[in-house]
Chains A and B, each alone.
Chain A
Amino acid sequence: MKQASGMILATVLGTAAVARAQPAPGGAPSPDGKPVPVSDAAAPTGTPAPTGTPTTGVPASPYEPPPSDPGPLLGGQVDPPRDGRAGPQRRHPPMRFPEVLTTPTGWLLPAGVLYSRNAIDTGGGVTSDDRVGLGDVAEFGVATTDQVRERQLLADKPVRIQPYITASFRMGVEENRLFAGQPGVTLGFRKSFEREHAGFKTRIAELTLVASKHLGPDAAIHIGGTLWDASMQATAQVDDMPAPETTLHGHGLARQIRAFGGFEARPLPRSQILIDLGWAPDFCYQCTAETDRIKLRPELSWGVRYQVASFMHIESGVRVPDIGNFNLLDAQIFGQVTFTSFALSDAVETLK
């Protein structure tokens, strides 16, 4: 009986210990202790995903690593552990891109994540976009864009002004943050430095509000509205006075507000098909009609994004700068590479 009591006690304590060691129902806890949805719990993280077929029956999320992760050098998500003494690797939140191809999404970079996208195209355009995630609620970036175009007369073929340097600040609420099914929403602002070119000083600014929603594990849609503004002023003085400034907002809100959107789908674990429709300003320096001097032109882009490694994606596709005229002779084929890094985020965590 004495032995039986000891066994009972040992069994009880052992059961308690085993039960306590089990994960909580509903998914693994996130780094901040909050429960994480099943689709995100195994998303690109610092820990290798379990191998084998998922037992939940849910299709693999596009934002999850492939089932068997060979490491980034071989195209995987994480390095295999090199040092057995090292502690458990930090779980990284899922990476969602702040742009489809040219239009913003309702997703933000995670806190401390560095993002750099560099692109070239067949029209000779070279652009760069560098951002940092701030506190999971915002991001700041500096970029060069080749979307802004100029022409002397309305009938002329527009040419790009580049580099056109902009700064951006976006803030928002991540998807499913407030309630289940809530789309990710961001309010973004992008503004350029003043650019002097061809005897004119120009500036652009864009205020956007966009919502992004997953449609199942392999697709997402982005819908937003934008309030564009731009200004143009000749550098030459008229009668010792500065030349009058032409602005887009000077011609009413109807000329400023536009809708934009995008769609992305992942037919293969590492490959996405992307399409978006955005707007870009076009300056006409010698146009006689005030309303023709600054106009917004629709821009359609489509392409593919391929995940080379957890920190590297390459994208390629076609961009039609003025789809309103459906002039495919102006279309450009572009290629871009995007790097993302959790190094700063990890360093911040280490400091804490």
Chain B
Amino acid sequence: MQITAVRWPLHVVGPNNCHMQCGSLTLIALVIAARAAAAAPGEPAPPAAPVAAAADPGEAPAEGETVPRTPTTTLGRMFRGPFRSARLFAMPTADVIGAYVLTVSGEGSLLQQPGVLTSAGVLAVGFGDIAQLEYRHTEAIGITGLDAPVPAVGVQLKLPIPERSGIPAIGVAFRLGVPRGELLDGRNVDETVTDLYLVGRLRFTSLPWLTLHGGTRISFAKAAPAGADVVSRTLWLPTAGYELAMNPQASIIGELALAPQFQWMPAIQPAPAIGRGVLGRLGMKWRIVPSVILEGSLGYQVDDATPSEGFEAVVTWDIRLGAAVFVPWGALACRAVGVFCN
């Protein structure tokens, strides 16, 4: 076998040296043909696989992968991402949305309060690749029994630890509460909740479809009724969640957390009380296009439930629909006026 020793142009192959080399070439060609035939048509060729994975909106983007910011980047390419979500439903995750990206998200409940459309939202701006600034509504149960979205401004950090299977990514989120007024029996009560979250995210190479989230919410809650003493309390509130990737675009998400609960019956209580309430959500996120995520979920203990009512009081559950839109403002600015380019 001398196929590597001889370099013959095809046109000089003659009868005297044909049989062995041509036979070898034929054999090799047959092997290649068999391998090509054995590969399923839908199976991506090995060199193309990483490209396909990177372009897939449902895949978790690789660490450090960002939207290209060049003057020639097309709008379609910009909005193809990759984009990362920094929360489950209410719980922050150990991710940030990334630099030069802005996200606006909101959700509404048709049924949380009878006859009223309630809503909550988040506006977040990526700051470097490890932080984001946000204005959001955080979860607490108000004195009227509702899952009251209490406004807060916050910063979320991701600790720059290399990601490995079985080793959690760690994030810290601080949300500075802004007072929210509630009216009860003609008396106004300002409720404020300031939170510090310590959260971790765990993935395993052997279970690529599963992501676990867990952490603690340290909550500083304050109730200030008009004409009465201010009540405040510090609460340690565990929080946990999971994501199941059902297909490249959609995942099922569950979230269970304790939340501050304000309780006050002015007729029998001289001052409000601050306790703990359970909030649970089960739903899904659908990345309809890379830059838009639709969310839907059903929630437990968010209506006008009284503490004596339990799981079986499904008439107090609610349904929420939401959406998140990612805007690669850095890439847009680069394309428009040539600033913030890579």
Q: Which residues of A contact B (CB under 8 A)?
A: 1-2, 5, 8-9, 12-13, 15-16, 19-24, 29, 32-33, 111-112, 134-138, 140, 167-169, 171, 173, 187, 189, 191, 193-194, 201, 203-207, 227-231, 247-249, 253, 256, 348, 351-352
Contacts and interface: CB of A to CB of B under 8 A. Distances in A.
B289 interface: yes
Interface of B: 10, 13-15, 18, 22, 25-26, 29-30, 32-33, 36-37, 39-42, 57, 110-111, 114-115, 246-252, 282-290, 294, 296-298, 309, 312-319, 321
Given A134-B250, A134-B286, A167 B41 contact: no
A171 B33 CA distance: 45
Nearest to B11: A2
B327 to A, nearest CB: 16
Nearest to A226: B314
Given A20-B37, A169-B283, A256-B312, A5 B22 contact: yes
B273 to A, nearest CB: 22
A71 B125 CA distance: 50
Nearest to B318: A191
A140 B37 contact: no
Contacts of A204: 315
A167 B319 contact: yes
A209 B315 CA distance: 16
A249 B309 contact: yes
A19 B250 contact: no
A111 to B, nearest CB: 7
Nearest to A20: B36
B294 to A, nearest CB: 6
Contacts of B37: 15-16, 19-20, 22
Given A204-B315, A348-B289, A135 B284 contact: yes
Nearest to B21: A5
Nearest to B250: A135
Contact of B246 (A2, A137, A227): A137
Contact of B321 (A140, A203, A253, A348): A140
Nearest to B12: A2
Contact of B319 (A9, A12, A191, A348): A191
A281 B48 CA distance: 57
A207 B314 CA distance: 7
B32 A249 contact: no
Contact of A167 (B110, B248, B252, B288): B110
Contacts of A171: 252, 282-284, 296
Contacts of A201: 114
Q: Select the residue from B13, B33, B251 with max chain A CB neighbours within 10 A.
A: B33
A164 to B, nearest CB: 13
Contacts of B13: 2, 5
B199 to A, nearest CB: 24
A24 B15 contact: no
Q: Select the residue from B42, B285, B287 with max chain A CB neighbours within 10 A.
A: B42
A137 B282 CA distance: 12
Given A168-B319, A194-B114, A20 B41 contact: yes
Given A169-B296, A194-B114, A227 B315 contact: no
Contacts of B250: 111, 134-138
B296 A191 contact: no
Nearest to B312: A249
Contacts of B296: 134, 138, 140, 169, 171
B166 to A, nearest CB: 24
